[in-house]
Amino acid sequence: MIDLIFPDGSTRQFEPGVTGKQVAASIAVSLAKRAALIKLDGELLDVDRALEHGGKFEILTRDAPEALETIRHDVSHILAEAVQELFPGTQVTIGPAIEDGFYYDVARDEPFSLDDLVAIEQRMKEIVDRDEPIVREVWNRDEAIAHFQSIGEVYKAEIIGSIPAGEDVTVYRQGQWKDLCRGPHLPSTKVAGKAFKLTKLAGAYWRGDHRNPMLQRIYGTAWANDADLAAHLHRIEEAEKRDHRKIGRTMDLFHMQEEGRGMVFWHEKGLTLWRTVEAYMRRRLEAAGYVEVRTPQVLDRVFWEQSGHWQNYRPNMFVCETVEGEELALKPMNCPGHVQIFKYGQKSYRDLPLRMAEFGACHRYEPSGALHGLMRVRAFTQDDAHIFCREDQIVEEVASFIALASSVHEDFGLTRDHITLGTRPTPRAGTDEFWDMAETQLLDAARKAGVEPVVAEGDGAFYAPKLDFQLKDAIGRTWTCGTIQNDYVLPDRLGAEFVGEDGQKHKPVMLHRAICGSLERFIGVLIENFAGAFPLWLAPVQVVVTTITSDADDFALKAAAALRARGLRVETDLRNEKINYKVREHSLAKVPVIAVVGRREAEEGKLALRRLGSDGQEILTLAEAANLLATQATPPDVARETAASEGRVGELLAG
RNA sequence: GCCGCUUUAGCUCAGCUGGUAGAGCACCUCAUUCGUAAUGAGGGGGUCACAGGUUCGAGUCCUGUAAGCGGCACCA
């Protein structure tokens, strides 16, 4: 007999081989009807699966959150069945559930069209209506290979071929259609429901390898019910409205054009945003004990050969040959330049840790297909720094960097979701002992900073493991911004040394780190995070002073000058247009504060402030408004510093 | 780089089965001085991405190139 422990804590005994459905029926017939999956000791199983052992047992209906992934997986099978019914000769490969949905990769010579997608979706709904039972079968591996070979499913046969000989495989059958699959699945196609939609067609390499043939991938989204599906589609629409490329155009921040692919033309307002971010970063770095440097844009190839980048990334570098036969490269990163400064003169252990920062303009020839607005460009500026330190300083430096980066991210309205630890890749430089040590140091440092990283196997750089910050934006999307890598390889290759307490020469460790990553990309993330409605301190135009009638022109100009004198970024709008029109226009332009002046305000020396997103107004004297707005426009780090220094003065006076 | 789709006015888009280009917004001009998300009238603006081809005739069909978009691969 096997013991099943139910969620309420009670235990009941059943014959081995009993199915989940039978157990459900022993409780209530209605429950057996609604049972979609069972969970045994945390493992999801088909309801008709014979149970071989006891354990913590739970019956799940299709509404259970855990069932959603299975619904998506089922819908991907239904997609594959529909495709093969409509397009005989198409081979199926794999079709997993993914975040928010599923995809299925199929092989067919003819490309699918958007019209095909409509037909496929229609057929999928018919398959759901057919209520085909989904049945699990255990097959002998070699017979399975032979079977899939015989029906022309060479990709499936290849997958089974990679399963160790002697192991059985499982095949799920729904109606006439069957697929190699680990499962679990719902009891029938009807249970999967119709809250799905095919969303896009794409190409994808077989097994994710660019040397393999390209398959056609059909993406879809699937949910437990229509309301969830509608909500998801609505979220997608909202996310599209935040697209930084669209907002960049409508807010006149930047543009890109084909003569400079992957390069940004920053317009006045965009550059204002840039300079605001850069000035903020500069203050934070200075406060954290960094020094700022600047290194050459173009350097001889010998540096890139020494660092190993020439060998690893030569095709992705912009290289130029001079008339005198030198071969130079635009810097793809700043590390060798910083090491040259470190090596200039002698360094002592007393100089360490030496935190060397640069807003470094780098160029990388990214593959054309990788380019994406500001998010992936060929010319970018890193908020880069290298911390040269002794081995025993690594953990401390990394931990304080995590604190600094987290504070910066929060100031920009981004919250940390988690940190990943990217471990040794293949190929890589350095010995396994080195990698063991370097990975352990990063892990220790993260823990010291109170963070437990999620391991990303093989995601490190070729010379060092790394910690990457995964941030969540205002609508819950995650972005990777910020990294730190502890590198023993490049200081050695580039010949960096310092004199230790023992008078001997030692190799420093180099911590490569960035908080924004690239400023281009970071600004792209900020645009999407705020949907263009920046907080006052970041907004390119903070205030528009606008008139109701031309009687107020003189006062409006005076008010604008007064606000500018308080350091605010102010525009005036004296056009002969209705106030409704002006308010609408500046609201659409996401200006945080509209200061309206009519005859009344002009006579009384006041401003009527209207905040973006609210329709009320605050009527203040010009002096009050200037003080209030100047305070509110203070960058968060400056505001904290001011508050702290006031606190210290208060303590001194009290003491 | 690979697969697919797309490319018409500054922007968003319409243009049926090939017969010689249209809307809204924006822009310019004039009128309007109007209290918190679009005042009215008039006007200018397009080698229909580029290069070939088919045709009496191409924005429309075909081929190639480029760029953009969605993925994949890549991301020091």
Catalytic site positions of A? 335, 364, 382, 384, 386, 466, 512
CA of A236 to C1' of B58 (A): 39
Q: What digits encode the pLDDT tens for the residues A405-456?
A: 999 999 999 999 999 999 999 889 989 999 999 999 999 999 999 999 999 9
Does at least one atom of strand B sit less than 7 Å from the CB of A625? no
Could you give phi then psi for residue A548, rounded to 5 degrees? Answer: -95, -45
Q: Which fold has domain A67-239?
A: Threonyl-tRNA Synthetase; Chain A, domain 2 (3.30.980)
Check residue A653 and give its pLDDT. 84
pLDDT at A655 over 80: no
Which overall architecture, per CATH, does domain A543-636 show?
Answer: 3-Layer(aba) Sandwich (3.40)
Which nucleotide, over all strands, has the C1' atom closest to the CA of A546? B36
CA of A368 to C1' of B50 (A): 19
Q: What digits encode the pLDDT tens for the residues A129-146?
A: 999 999 999 999 999 999
pLDDT band at A567 (very low <50, low <70, confident <90, very high): very high
Does at least one atom of strand B sit less than 7 Å from the CB of A242? no
Q: What digits encode the pLDDT tens for the residues A309-364?
A: 999 999 999 999 999 999 999 999 999 999 999 999 999 999 999 999 999 999 99
pLDDT at A652 over 90: no
Does at least one atom of strand B sit less than 7 Å from the CB of A621? no
Q: What digits encode the pLDDT tens for the residues A470-507?
A: 999 999 999 999 999 999 999 999 999 999 999 999 99
Check residue A152 and give its pLDDT. 94
CB burial readout A51-90, b (16+ within 10 A) else e: beebeebbbbebebeebbbbbbbbbbbbbbbbbbbeeeeb
User: Per the confidence metrics, is the pTM higher than 0.90?
Assistant: yes
Domain A254-530 has CATH 2.50.20.10: no
The residue ranges of DSSP E strands in A223-282, in sequence order, are 254-255, 265-266
Does at least one atom of strand B sit less than 7 Å from the CB of A111? yes
Helix (H) or strand (E) holding A358: strand A354-363
CA of A510 to C1' of B35 (A): 62
Mean pLDDT of A183-198: 96
Does at least one atom of strand B sit less than 7 Å from the CB of A203? yes
Nucleic acid strand B: bases within 7 A of protein CB: 1-5, 11-12, 31-39, 66-76
pLDDT at A114 over 90: no
Three-state SS for A493-542 is HCCCCEECCCCCEECCEEEEEEEEEEHHHHHHHHHHHHCCCCCCCCCCCC
Check residue A378 and give its pLDDT. 97
Q: What digits encode the pLDDT tens for the residues A578-601?
A: 999 999 999 999 999 999 999 999
Q: What is the rounded (10 degree) CA torsion for A13, A14, A20, A25?
A: -90
Which nucleotide, over all strands, has the C1' atom closest to the CA of A312? B76
Which nucleotide, over all strands, has the C1' atom closest to the CA of A550? B33
Strands A2-5 and A11-14: antiparallel
Does at least one atom of strand B sit less than 7 Å from the CB of A76? no
Q: What digits encode the pLDDT tens for the residues A255-281?
A: 999 989 999 999 999 999 999 999 999
Please state, for a pLDDT cut of 90, what percent of chain A lies above it.
95
pLDDT band at A654 (very low <50, low <70, confident <90, very high): confident
CA of A89 to C1' of B17 (A): 33
Mean pLDDT of A91-111: 96
Which nucleotide, over all strands, has the C1' atom closest to the CA of A598? B35
Could you give phi then psi for residue A270, rounded to 5 degrees? Answer: -65, -40
Check residue A98 and give its pLDDT. 96
Residue nearest to nucleotide B34 (CA to C1'): A578
Q: Could you say which residues 273-312 of protein chain A have a Cβ atom less than 7 A away from any atom in strand B?
A: 309, 312
Which nucleotide, over all strands, has the C1' atom closest to the CA of A480? B75
Does at least one atom of strand B sit less than 7 Å from the CB of A98? no
Mean pLDDT of A571-583: 95
Does at least one atom of strand B sit less than 7 Å from the CB of A200? yes
Q: Could you say which residues 524-583 of protein chain A have a Cβ atom less than 7 A away from any atom in strand B?
A: 548-551, 576-581, 583
Does at least one atom of strand B sit less than 7 Å from the CB of A370? yes
Which nucleotide, over all strands, has the C1' atom closest to the CA of A259? B67
Q: Could you say which residues 204-233 of protein chain A have a Cβ atom less than 7 A away from any atom in strand B?
A: 204-205, 208-210, 214, 216-217, 219
Q: What digits encode the pLDDT tens for the residues A238-247?
A: 999 999 999 9
CA of A234 to C1' of B49 (A): 33
Quote the CATH superfamily of domain A2-61.
Answer: Beta-grasp domain (3.10.20.30)
CA of A418 to C1' of B69 (A): 31
Q: What is the rounded (10 degree) CA torsion for A492, A496, A501, A502?
A: 60
Residue nearest to nucleotide B72 (CA to C1'): A204
Q: Apex CA A277: angle with CA A273 and CA A283, to 5°? A: 145
Does at least one atom of strand B sit less than 7 Å from the CB of A333? yes
Q: Could you say which residues 334-363 of protein chain A have a Cβ atom less than 7 A away from any atom in strand B?
A: 335
Residue A406: DSSP 8-state = H
pLDDT band at A72 (very low <50, low <70, confident <90, very high): very high
Domain positions in chain A are 2-61, 67-239, 254-530, 543-636
Mean pLDDT of A291-301: 97
Q: Could you say which residues 245-264 of protein chain A have a Cβ atom less than 7 A away from any atom in strand B?
A: 245, 249, 256, 258, 261-262
CA of A573 to C1' of B30 (A): 21
Q: Are A128 and A190 contacting, i.e. CB atoms less than 8 angstroms apart?
A: yes
Cα R_g (chain A), whole angstroms: 31
**CA-CA distance, A493 to A522, in Å (whole number)?**
31
CA of A315 to C1' of B49 (A): 29
Q: Could you say which residues 492-531 of protein chain A have a Cβ atom less than 7 A away from any atom in strand B?
A: 512
pLDDT band at A120 (very low <50, low <70, confident <90, very high): very high
Interface confidence (ipTM) of the complex: 0.95
Does at least one atom of strand B sit less than 7 Å from the CB of A234? no
Does at least one atom of strand B sit less than 7 Å from the CB of A100? no
- Using alpha carbons, select from A132, A101, A103, A130 the residue that is nearest to residue A117: A103
CA of A462 to C1' of B74 (A): 14
Tokens of A104: 């299925």
